[in-house]
Homo-oligomer: A and B are copies of this chain.
Amino acid sequence: MRPVRIALGQVNPTVGAIEANARLVVDGIARARGLGCDIAAFPELVLTGYPPEDLLFKPAFIEANLRALADVARASQGLTVILGFVDKRDDIFNAAAILHDGVHAGTYHKQYLPNYGVFDENRYFQAGTEAPVFAVGSTLLAANVCEDIWYPTGPTTHQALAGAELVVSINSSPYHAGKALFREKMLATRAADDLVCLAFVNTVGGQDELVFDGQSFIFNEKGERIARGRAFAEDLVVADLDLDQVFRARLHDSRRRKEKLATTAVSPRIELPPWPPRERAALAERAVAELAPVEEIYRALVLGTRDYVTKNGFGRVALGLSGGIDSALVATIAADALGPTNVTGVTMPSPYSSTGTRRDAARLARNLGVELFTIPVTGVLGAYRRALGGPFKGLKEDVTEENLQARIRGNFLMALSNKCGWLILTTGNKSEIGVGYTTLYGDMAGGFAVIKDVPKTLVYQLAEHANRRAGREVIPRSIFERAPSAELRPNQTDQDTLPPYAVLDAILEAYVEGDQGLADMVARGYDSATVKRVIAMVERNEYKRRQGPIGIKITPRAFGKDWRLPIVNKFRE
């Protein structure tokens, strides 16, 4: 038995708040020390927050992060601390610092820089080439950064072959539905393949369109999970490792000896003094339950909303309540994220609003306990018609008048935002944003698009789930049952213009997430004319998406950083 106690500080940093982020780390170190830990690890780029984007081009930003690292180093007495920072040499590196007993003892530079999806790391960083192993007395440990762990013959393998018994992977790995499970399996495999204890520490929190889900993990050399961090909340995950088990397992594995030779060049060994002997109490058992898929998404939306609002310095939000399912879900998420007293619903009836939707908006607000304003659009709409009477003389009514209503609502909300300092949440879902069934500067007006990446069919599932988790019918049943409508002209329903949502969502998923073309989808049984129409709508409305607010990514490909389509685009399949 050669026991090592490790703590993973699953913290929620804020991009640019370098001093505050360093305090999160220093506090975590103090807690880890109190629990008798030998090692405390914190996420990738925890000092700067992730992703810092073009802030990385500012020398003052890099310097501030180096000063913060020096502060953290001084706070590392008696243990080893691993954390992410931006290293500056002849270039900058996405790096892990290895601090040991008050001293900055070594540095690892991320080798695999992701430059796909939402990632642009080649824009900023130079890639590392060395994968050092640190000998703390007789214990061999190593660190690498995020993407590195995803490569089966990457730095983890080199470090394990060079002797590392524990590899700490520091991460800022953004959430999308289904990723956590995939990641957990990969980590288990990596630990078992490399016969190494693997500690995976992840950021938690929202940053613009990204949510980091936490869910840090510790695996033993058999690939067995021995600890798990909470999802969508800060946590300090502590576990005891028996590194003699790693050594013993490796003695049985003769293949490993042959592979070892090639790794010494890239994995230099750095010797550090041993940890002091410690008295420590046994760890309490803790169980962190796995979340059901729909609950996982719901929590991502709540955390993403809370962090966007509060990290931008807002205390309060407002949103339009139409009496439809989208705004009902967003209001529910907002009330969960910020508390109902920090949410104002605004119902803005037009001549085409039904009594049903008006009543449902009021009932929802009451159920949630949020304030409700009523501001009718009719008077302003009349004034617009009069003002535009000249230029529009002789022209028929069309979508222009529908858009005007939506834009009047947008202006009302923005006026409340300006006057009261509230952030406006928009309520568009991924299906309508995908096909452009939205009004630019109208229902798209606002600071944050909570369900921007949630397809309509999933909106219904999340709304059902919201009622289940509340244990009561917060969102009135009638909202679920009414046919979706923008209520911008008499007797309008979404399905006048769009295919049924089940069909639309399947096509959109194939097109957006799968880059499937017309031929692929027709081969999978979709109607050719429908697919063509949907693709044409998606392409035609790129200009709208480019001007819409950002929102929370929950799928493998959102209409955000991972969707970079030209506006001028004549490609037709």
Contact = CB atoms under 8 A, between A and B. Distances in A.
A208 B418 contact: no
Contacts of A392: 415, 419
Given A64-B571, A312-B568, A548-B547, A399 B414 contact: no
Nearest to A403: B418
Interface in A60-109: 60-61, 64
A480 interface: no
Contacts of A416: 391
A570 interface: yes
Contact of A123 (B54, B115, B408, B569): B115
Contacts of A395: 419
Nearest to A571: B16
Given A54-B564, A400-B419, A547-B548, A379 B383 contact: yes
Interface string A419-449: 1000000000000000000001100010100
Contacts of A386: 379
A515 B411 contact: no
Given A123-B116, A570-B20, A571-B55, A411 B415 contact: no
A122 B386 CA distance: 54
A312 to B, nearest CB: 6
Given A53-B564, A414-B441, A569 B379 contact: no
Nearest to A568: B311
Interface string A30-63: 0000000000000000000001111101111100
Give the number of times this chain occurs in the complex, counting copies: 2
Contacts of A307: 568
Contacts of A515: 57-59
A511 to B, nearest CB: 9
A556 interface: no
Nearest to A348: B387
Given A441-B445, A550-B546, A568-B14, A404 B398 contact: no
Contacts of A311: 568, 570
A17 interface: yes
A31 B564 CA distance: 36
Contact of A380 (B51, B60, B380): B380
A288 to B, nearest CB: 27
Interface residues of A, number: 85
Interface string A259-303: 000000000000000000000000000000000000000000000
A380 B387 CA distance: 7
Nearest to A517: B60
A373 interface: yes
Contacts of A549: 543, 546-547
A487 to B, nearest CB: 18
A411 B412 CA distance: 13
Contacts of A571: 15-18, 55, 58, 61, 64
B566 A52 contact: yes
A417 B207 CA distance: 35
B208 A567 contact: yes
A375 B400 contact: no
A543 B447 contact: yes
Nearest to A378: B387
Contacts of A58: 515, 517, 571
A400 B570 CA distance: 40
A388 interface: yes
A526 to B, nearest CB: 15
Contacts of A412: 384, 387-388
A563 B58 CA distance: 12
| Shortest Cβ-Cβ A-B pairs, 5 listed | A16-B571, A383-B383, A17-B570, A400-B418, A60-B517
21 contacts: A16-B566, A52-B566, A53-B566, A58-B515, A58-B517, A59-B517, A61-B571, A115-B115, A312-B543, A373-B391, A375-B387, A376-B387, A379-B383, A379-B386, A379-B387, A380-B380, A384-B411, A392-B419, A399-B418, A411-B411, A547-B547
Given A51-B566, A403-B414, 18 more contacts: A16-B569, A16-B571, A16-B572, A20-B570, A52-B566, A54-B565, A55-B569, A59-B517, A60-B519, A60-B573, A115-B115, A120-B123, A380-B380, A380-B384, A384-B411, A408-B411, A441-B441, A543-B549
